Chain A
């Protein structure tokens, strides 16, 4: 159990880290409207409505040894840990992206403009105004993505293949246990997952509360 749990945690951490690396940039660029923004956003949010098997299936085709990625010389990611990371990240993207986007949208444009008139250049504005105001949103989005990736089953099963000792994670391990009628073991593993999931979501909520009371969730700019 501890080995699968560790692999689950590693998978969740890597995919959430990947999202934290890329997501805020996309959310920042999407904070103002541009032609085609809703199209891009719909694409980013589609995994929300997609059966995990569908995403997993297409990723498998993409990653296959004779797939399009292999043809341009990339190593095949089918049934590997990195492949699962990509799948889990894509599937958790809507959660992270939504939180990141809200964090940037709540940023009052007047604050940035006023900071400029107070002599603050781009770097100071980013470090002393933008970052302190958005980091709680970035952390809560990443935590949510982490929790979601931790519980992911379908995509991980399709792309990873549930190979014991290689790509088996907590969720697919529990599935195997139940299939094998090992209910006691399934129970133990499930309880651990339940506790973890609850703790993570609770932490996220706490963070949001604290953030709101610190900044006094103000409305956005209204001047023209």
Chain B
């Protein structure tokens, strides 16, 4: 389904992209995500396809605002039944309870919204939206403010809706992890679409530095083009010359290399590196270690300062300690090359 929308207020916005399966709409606060969802729901005036001109009541959509907006005076099943006005009496209740059951909430049917957890409330709201049999679900930050188990449950509920009921879901989020679970990705910033496409393609090749930042490339290394050795561009940085895949660029061009914290690797000195990777190593010290659930975050200090994130089982094997000298490797295939200009892209593919 192609979405092509132009919105004058409250935030001028113009976008065109495909929504298939689970499509994440990624962007920082204020990018216009909520504005776009509301416009698609018919709650804000907009021009475009699909649905423009139809009132919200007649659009085949299911809309979930950030707080789920369950009716506080109705129980969970009554909330779902609100979406089933064409059914009467016992049939209506049965259908509503069936929907709750599909989302694993049968035991919460008699509870009012204030008695539900944040994750449960959003799943009830999802069941309610789906009960109308929409062709497009519009979910605004469905995992914001949820703890891990609740968040995973909501994510599973979204995937269930998409996979079992064949509905398309456009999910606004600024959570890169949720975005990675999607089929497609649309990156929005300041009312403009920066990039859209299958999630793997966008993650593998962010179009601009701005997109890379939004996708969680936290390590940004400035440098200048020093040469070209096919198929790699050689970039002079404070940590020496690093090689990165790309098309030839004029010598001296200012560029930025980007790498995700998960893809900065500690060199295991007992194992030989491939020659290509060996050229991209940097010596320094582990500066600080922080446990974040199943992940350990490390700060590396050498000629460059880098953030590393490694699974705990890797840390258990490596036994990194603060202050310890170590080498890290920036493997070329995990490096991304960007113009220094946030908005500009090198046409490399």
Contact = CB atoms under 8 A, between A and B. Distances in A.
A117 B38 CA distance: 10
Contact of A120 (B34, B64, B82, B113): B82
Contacts of A128: 71, 82
Interface stretch (B52-60, B225-233, B242-250, B270-278): B52-60
Contact of B85 (A124, A132, A133, A218): A124
A113 interface: yes
A114 interface: yes
Contacts, number: 81
Given A114-B65, A128-B82, A119 B72 contact: no
B41 interface: yes
B35 interface: yes
A119 B10 contact: no
Interface residues on B, range: 20 to 34
Interface string A117-147: 1111100100011001100000000000000
Given A133-B72, A216-B113, A113 B65 contact: yes
Interface in A89-136: 108, 110-111, 113-121, 124, 128-129, 132-133
Interface string B101-137: 0000000000011100000000000001100100000
Contacts of A113: 38, 41, 43, 56, 63, 65, 69
A224 B58 CA distance: 23
B34 A223 contact: yes
A44 B11 CA distance: 36
B10 A116 contact: no
A132 B112 CA distance: 14
A124 B86 CA distance: 13
B51 to A, nearest CB: 11
Nearest to A114: B69
A214 interface: yes
Interface of B: 10, 34-35, 38, 41-43, 55-59, 61-67, 69, 71-73, 82-83, 85, 112-114, 128-129, 132, 140
16 contacts: A113-B43, A113-B63, A114-B63, A114-B65, A116-B56, A117-B57, A117-B61, A118-B83, A118-B128, A119-B58, A119-B83, A119-B85, A121-B57, A128-B71, A214-B112, A221-B67
Interface of A: 108, 110-111, 113-121, 124, 128-129, 132-133, 214-216, 218, 221-224
